[in-house]
Amino acid sequence: MLSLSIPLVTTLLLGSTQVQKALAFIECSVLNYGAVADNKTDLGPALTKAWQECVIPQVTTTVASDVLLYVPAGNYLLESTVTFDDAANWNLHIAGDIFLPFNPSLTGTMLTFENCENILLNGPGAIYGNGYRYRPGGDLTLYPSRPRLIRFQNCNDCEITAVTLYDAPMFHVTVIGNSNEAHDMSIIASHIGETDGFDMSGNNNYVHDVTVEVCYECVTVKTPTNGFVAERITCRYTGGCNIGSFGSGTTGVDVQNVYYSDVTISNSDAGVMIKSYPNCAGTVKNITYTGFTLSAAAYPIYISAFWEGGTTDTGTLQISDVTFENFQGTGTPTRPAVLLDCNKATPCKDITFSDIVLSDTKANSFANACGSGLSGLSGC
């Protein structure tokens, strides 16, 4: 009897656990809070109402997927911005397609998560920004305050995955915070200024298995950052994977411990860039780029304190301990494979190269930089 009672108790306990987990799952559909899948009714108020009246009162666990703010299949119009402030432990699940209208007075970020913890944003739906309508003929000045798509502001332990983003009027995904993850998703836009794919800052963030196509920048690190990893990244018709830029006169730049690996970049303005103005100050150090395959990248490897022009060299941005290894492919005939152009007061130091095989480029160019691994680069 004893031998039979043990598996019986185990079965009952497992059954109880399964029932409790099923009961913990809560779905808050926007259709129950005023949303209509007609691509005419503004989705914004329904998102806010469902979050306030259904999601917040029923978050009882730290498993984000236990409570869903759910956008079912269908076409929805989003013509007002939504901010989820002090949000924690829930899932915005987008199964439908969300469309932004063209509205010259629409500004800000369409979906903002602020001061948040453990938020999951996932698909399989999509958000269509209709950005080309805000940039007629490529004019970025006509609507300078045009909207952005998604922003995580002061957020930790959040995740965005499996949602596809199309043509934001301005930036697509901005993440500011610690231990956040973006993965297994695509961004497709217009190759024009201010249409960045992923802009990341904070500590220990992770981007992997993403594709960014026809955006201004692909996966970019901003200040401050301490600990960032990007792996298995595909960039097509973009401005490459960059650090910066740091705006004119920026002081206190602090970017360190950044690692890019297994990146494919094609038909792009750059491969990798560290870019700044000539009057910035701070530190960029311990950066590794490894395993890059480039095809027709205009500036395959580019470090510049003068990216935005200007000849007055007053900056003290210290760039050091940067490693480039295993770069293969092609650049363009009119630009160097490697271009280092650093501040005189704080030359770039310990810039290391290995296994760099890039063709169809001009000769390398070095100014105020030292390191190893390339002919013509002075030792430190």
Instruction: Give the confidence band of 6 by pLDDT, cuts at 50, 70, 90.
Output: very low
Confidence band for 19, pLDDT divided at 50, 70 and 90 = very low
Domains: count for the chain:
1
| Domain residue limits at 273 | 255-380
3-state secondary structure 312-352: CCCCEEEEEEEEEEEEEEECCCCCECEEEECCCCCCEEEEE
Q: What is the mean pLDDT of residues 316-327?
A: 97
Q: Which residue has the higher pLDDT, 353 or 139?
A: 353
* Rounded alpha-carbon distances, angstroms, from residue 104 to 2, 131, 181, 344: 75, 11, 32, 44
Query: Is there a domain that residue 274 lies in?
Result: yes
Q: What is the pLDDT of residue 4?
A: 32
7: pLDDT strictly greater than 70: no
For residue 360, tell me if it sits in a domain: yes
Task: Report yes or no on 357 lying in a domain.
Answer: yes
In this structure, is residue 67 part of a structural domain?
A: no
Residue 276 identity (one-letter amino acid): S
User: What's the mean pLDDT when you consider all of the chain?
Assistant: 92
Q: Give 3-state DSSP helix, strand, coil % of the chain, rounded to 5.
A: 15, 50, 35
pLDDT for 244 beyond 90: yes
pTM of the predicted model, to two decimals? 0.92
342 in a structural domain: yes
Within a domain: 214: no
Residues 6 or more apart from 194 whose CB is under 8 A from it?
Answer: 140, 170, 171, 216
pLDDT digits (tens, 9 = 90+) for 253-302: 999 999 999 999 999 999 999 999 999 999 999 999 999 999 999 999 99
Is residue 330 assigned to a domain?
Answer: yes
* 2 assigned to some structural domain: no
**Does 22 or 77 have the greater pLDDT score?**
77
The arithmetic mean of pLDDT across residues 104-130, rounded, is 97
